[in-house]
Amino acid sequence: MAKLPPKSMPLHSTPAAADGQLNTHTALPKGVMRWVLTTNHKEIGTLYLLFSLSMFFVGGVFALVVRAELFQPGLQLIDPEFFNQMTTMHGLIMVFAAVMPAFTGLANWMIPLQIGAPDMALPRLNNFSFWLLPVAFTLLLSTLLMPGGGPNFGWTFYAPLSTTYAPASTTFFILAIHIAGISSILGAINIIATILNMRAPGMRLMDMPLFVWTWLITAFLLIAVMPVLAGVITMMLMDINFGTNFFNAAGGGDPVLFQHLFWFFGHPEVYIMILPAFGIVSAIIPTFARKPLFGYTSMVYATAAIALLSFLVWAHHMFLVGLPLVAELFFMYSTMLIAVPTGVKVFNWVTTLFRGSISFEPPMLFALAFVVLFTIGGFSGIMLAIAPADFQYHDTYFVVAHFHYVLVPGAIFAIMAGAYYWLPKWTGHYPNERLAQWHFWLSVIGVNLTFFPMHFAGLAGMPRRIPDYALQFADFNMVSSIGAFFFGTSQLLFVIVVVICVRGGKKAPAKAWEGAEDLEWSVPSPAPLHTFERPPKFERSTS
Amino acid sequence: MRALRYWSTYIAVLPFLVPTASYAWNMPIGVTDVSGDIYRLHMTIFWICVAIGLLVFGAMFYSLFRYRHAKGAKAAHFHENTLVEVLWTAIPVLILVAMAVPATATLKQMYDPSDADLDVMITGQQWRWRYEYMGENVAFTSSLSTPRVQISGEEKRGETYLLDVDNPLVLPVNRKVRFLMTSDDVIHSWWVPELAVKQDAVPGFINENWVRINEPGIYRGQCAELCGMDHGFMPVVVHAIEEKAFDEWIAERKAAAEKEISGIDRDWKLAELMERGQATYEAICVSCHQPGGKGSPPAFPALAGNEQLIADQAWHLDRVINGVSGAAMPAFRDTLNPVEIAAVVTYTRNAWGNDTGDVVQPSVVAEQVDQ
Amino acid sequence: MVGMGVKLVYGNGGIVAVVGAAGVLAIMALWFGDVIQESRRGLYDEQMDRSFRWGMGWFIFSEVMFFAAFFGALFYVRQFAVPWLGGEGEKGVTALLWPEFVAHWPLLNPPGSSVSGPEQILSPWQLPLVNTLILVTSSITLTVAHEGLKLRYRHTCRNWLAGTVLLGCIFIFIQGVEYYEAYAHYGITLEAGIFGATFFILTGFHGLHVIIGTIILGVMLLRIHKNHFGPDHHFGFEAACWYWHFVDVVWIGLFVFVYVI
Ligand code: HEA
Ligand code: HEA
Ligand code: CUA
Ligand SMILES: [Cu+2]
**What does DSSP say about strands B118-125 and B176-183: parallel, antiparallel, or unpaired?**
parallel
- List subunits contacting chain C, requiring 3 or more Cβ pairs under 8 Å: A, B
Surface of C (185-244) touching A: CB under 8 A:
190-191, 193-198, 200-201, 205
Q: What is the pLDDT of residue B6?
A: 45
Least confident span in A354-363, A488-497, C25-34: C25-34
Select from C77, C93, C101 the residue whose CB has the most chain B CBs within 10 Å, as the one to mutate to test that interface. Answer: C93
Q: Are A233 and A179 in contact (CB under 8 A)?
A: no
Which range is least confidently modeled, A15-29, A285-299, B217-231?
A15-29
Any catalytic annotation for residue A155?
A: yes
Q: Report the phi/psi class of residue C103: left, alpha or beta, with left for phi > 0 and alpha for psi in -120 to 50.
A: beta
Residue A201: which H helix or E strand, with range? none
| Residues in Cβ contact with A416 at an 8 Å cutoff, skipping those fewer than 6 apart | A366, A439, A443, A494
pTM value? Answer: 0.90
Q: Three-class SS string for C58-81?
A: HHHHHHHHHHHHHHHHHHHHHHHH
Question: Which C residues 49-88 touch B at CB under 8 Å?
Answer: 84-85
Question: For B219, phi and psi rounded to 5 degrees?
Answer: -120, 135
pLDDT at A10: 31
Q: Looking at the predicted structure, is the pLDDT value of residue C16 above 60?
A: no
A489 lines ligand 2 (CB under 6 A): yes
Q: Mean pLDDT throughout A257-263?
A: 96
Region C145-163 average pLDDT: 87
Per the CB < 8 Å rule, is C94 touching B204? yes
Which pLDDT score is estimated for B12? Answer: 47
Segment 5-44 of chain C within 8 Å of chain A by CB? 5-11, 13, 23, 30-31, 34-35, 38, 43-44
In angstroms, rounded to a whole number, what is the distance separating the alpha carbons of residues A203 and A197?
Answer: 11
Q: Please tell me the distance from the alpha carbon of residue C207 to that of residue A288, in angstroms, as a whole number.
A: 56
Q: What is the ipTM of this complex?
A: 0.88
Q: Whose CA is nearest to atom 1 of ligand 3?
A: B188
If we measure between CA atoms, which residue out of B337, B339, B335 comes closest to residue B359? B339
Range of the domain at A518: 37-522
* pLDDT digit string (tens) for chain B, length 371 residues: 444 444 444 444 444 444 444 457 899 999 999 999 999 999 999 999 999 999 999 999 999 999 998 888 888 888 888 899 899 999 999 999 999 999 999 999 999 888 889 999 999 998 899 999 998 888 888 989 888 888 888 888 888 899 999 899 999 999 999 999 999 899 999 999 999 999 999 999 999 999 999 999 999 999 999 999 999 999 999 999 999 999 999 999 888 888 777 777 778 888 888 888 888 888 888 888 888 888 877 778 888 888 888 888 888 888 888 888 767 788 888 778 888 888 899 999 988 888 888 888 888 888 887 76
**pLDDT above 70: percentage of residues in chain A:** 93
Whether residue A412 is contained in a domain is answered as yes
Burial A371-389 (b: 16+ CB within 10 A, else e): bbbbbbbbbbbbbbbbbbb
Q: Are A74 and A468 in contact (CB under 8 A)?
A: yes
Whether A536 is in a domain gets the answer: no
Q: Report the amino acid identity of residue A378.
A: G
Q: Which residue has the higher pLDDT, A353 or C27?
A: A353
Local structure of B240: helix, strand or coil: strand
- Chain A positions touching C191 (Cβ under 8 A) are 242-245, 251
From chain B, which residues contact C within 8 Å (Cβ)?
180, 182, 204-208, 325
Q: Determine, yes or no, domain membership for A3.
A: no
Cβ atoms of residues A119 and A18 within 8 Å: yes
Instruction: Give the integer Cα–Cα distance in Å for C30 and C66.
Output: 27
Chain B contact set for C90 (CB, 8 A) = none
Angle at A197 between CA A195 and CA A203, to 5 degrees: 70
User: Is A414 part of a structural domain of the chain?
Assistant: yes
Establish if A531 belongs to a structural domain.
no
**Cross-chain Cβ contact C84/B204 below 8 Å:** no
Query: Could you write out the three-class secondary structure of C97-141?
Result: HCCCCCCCCCCCCCCCCCCCCCCCCCCCCCHHHHHHHHHHHHHHH
Q: Confirm or reject contact between C191 and chain B (CB < 8 A).
A: no
> Mean pLDDT of all residues in chain A?
89
Residue among C85, C93, C114 whose CB faces B180 most closely: C93
3-state SS assignment for residue A510: coil
Phi-psi region of A295 (alpha: psi -120 to 50; beta: other; left: phi over 0): left
Give the one of B107, B151, B299 whose C-beta lies nearest to A468's C-beta: B151
What's the pLDDT score for residue A18? 39
- Residues with Cβ within 8 Å of B120's Cβ and at least 6 positions away in sequence, in order, are B131, B132, B133, B134, B169, B171, B177, B178, B179, B180
Rg (CA), chain B: 28
Residue A416 falls inside a structural domain: yes
Mean pLDDT of chain C, nearest integer: 83
Is residue C118 a contact partner of residue C255, using CB atoms and an 8 Å limit? no
Write the residue in A84, A294, A379 that is nearest to B53 by C-beta.
A379
The CB of B225 under 6 Å from ligand 3? The reply is yes
Closest CA to B8 of B37, B30, B34, B28: B37
How do residues A498-523 score in pLDDT, each as one tens digit?
999 999 888 888 888 988 888 889 88
pLDDT value of residue B14: 44
pLDDT of C109 over the 70 cut: yes
- The CATH number given to whatever domain includes residue A182 is 1.20.210.10
| C253: pLDDT strictly greater than 80 | yes
What mean pLDDT is predicted for residues C35-40?
68
Q: How far is A377 from chain B (nearest CA, A)?
A: 11
pLDDT score at C104:
84
pLDDT tier at A65 (50, 70, 90 boundaries)? very high
Catalytic residue among A39, A183, A287, A375: A183
pLDDT of residue A174: 92
Number of domains present in the structure of chain A = 1
For ligand 3, say whether the CB of B180 is within 6 Å of any of its atoms. Answer: no
The domains located in chain B, with CATH, are: 24-110 (1.10.287.90), 118-259 (2.60.40.420), 266-370 (1.10.760.10)
Which residues, in sequence order, are CB contacts of A387 under 8 Å at separation 6+? Answer: A316, A319, A328, A329, A331, A332, B103, B107
Angle at alpha carbon of residue A484, lines to A479 and A485, rounded to 5°: 105
Q: pLDDT tens, C225-235?
A: 887 787 777 88
Cross-chain residue pair B63–A158, CB shorter than 8 Å: no
| d(CA A101, ligand 1 centre) in Å | 22
Ligand 3 atom with the smallest distance to the CA of B224 is: 2
CA distances from C250 to B219, C44, C66, C72, C253 (A): 54, 32, 11, 13, 5
- Chain-centroid distance of CA A493 in Å reads 21
**Is the Cβ–Cβ distance between B219 and B31 less than 8 Å?**
yes
pLDDT tens digit string along A448-482?
A: 999 999 999 999 999 999 999 999 999 999 999 99
Instruction: Give me the pLDDT at residue A29, please.
Output: 62
Under 8 Å between Cβ of A115 and A109: no
Residue A365 in any domain: the answer is yes
The whole-angstrom separation of Cα A533 and Cα A119 is: 9
A77 in a domain, yes or no? yes
